[in-house]
Structure 1
Amino acid sequence: MGERVTELRCKEIIGLGNGTRYGYVGDVELDLETGQVLALVVPGRLRLLGLLGREPERVFPWAQVRRVGTDIVLVEGPPRLPETQRGRGRHPAHSKQKREDHSKT
């Protein structure tokens, strides 16, 4: 049975082992060449009504999805951080090498 992406966005992601409620699917990562779903993304919660931005989004690789029900998606394991949260895309001034160079002077 097929499922539309818009139907996935109405489902809440819940951790299978601990029952953690991560939030609702906000985005879906797709492989455009094969058409396969790569991951489900839950947007980060607003900090102080959005004035301080958002918490990092939570990304659940499709391999972690155990069951897609009518209202929820059960996942096994913790979410991974998106690429920008793991160090890629940081400004060069914040890199470790840059700090070491400044400490030598």
Structure 2
Amino acid sequence: MKLSDFQTKDVVNIIDGSRLGQIMDFEIDLQQGKIRAIILPKYAKRFGIFGSGEEVLIAWQNIVKVGKDVILVRLEQPIPPYDQRNEYPAI
């Protein structure tokens, strides 16, 4: 499967059934050649179509299932965006 195939699927949180959006980017560990996290836009709640400029990172191990149309994730608390971290998390 190509990375671009992931970006066309909706991401759904199995904890509360909420639709989180579609993947806009990936966080990749270049030394190991592995995806560390998927990155989703965090939308403003007022209208739902205007992005707030923030991102939600979901660690790769929190992906439960990749289906034909959706990606199911277990998201209890998102990882903060890279530029807002004090140190790189142990994922």
Query: Shorter-chain TM-score: which interval?
Result: 0.7 to 0.9
Say whether the 8 Å CA contact 1:56–1:81 is kept in structure 2. Answer: no
Give 3-state SS (helix, strand or coil) of 2:26's partner: strand
2:38 aligns with: 40
TM score, norm. by length of structure 1: 0.67
Structure 1, unaligned runs of 5 or more = 89-105
Give 3-state SS (helix, strand or coil) of 1:57's partner: strand
Cα distance in 2 between the residues matched to 1:13 and 1:72: 6
Mapping of residues 77-92 of structure 1, within 5 Å? 77-78=75-76, 79-86=78-85, 88=86
Letter in 1 for 2:41: P
2:15 aligns with: 17
2:71 aligns with: 73
- Which has the larger share of helix? 1
In structure 2, relative to structure 1, the CA distance for the partners of 1:21 and 1:80 (3 Å cut) is same
Higher-Rg structure is: 1
Aligned length: 83
The C-alpha deviation readout for 1:21-78, integer Å capped at 9, x for no partner, is 111000011111221110000023268776xx72521110001111011111111123
Say whether the 8 Å CA contact 1:11–1:25 is kept in structure 2. Answer: yes
- % identical equivalent positions: 29
2:89 aligns with: none
Cα distance in 2 between the residues matched to 1:81 and 1:56: 9
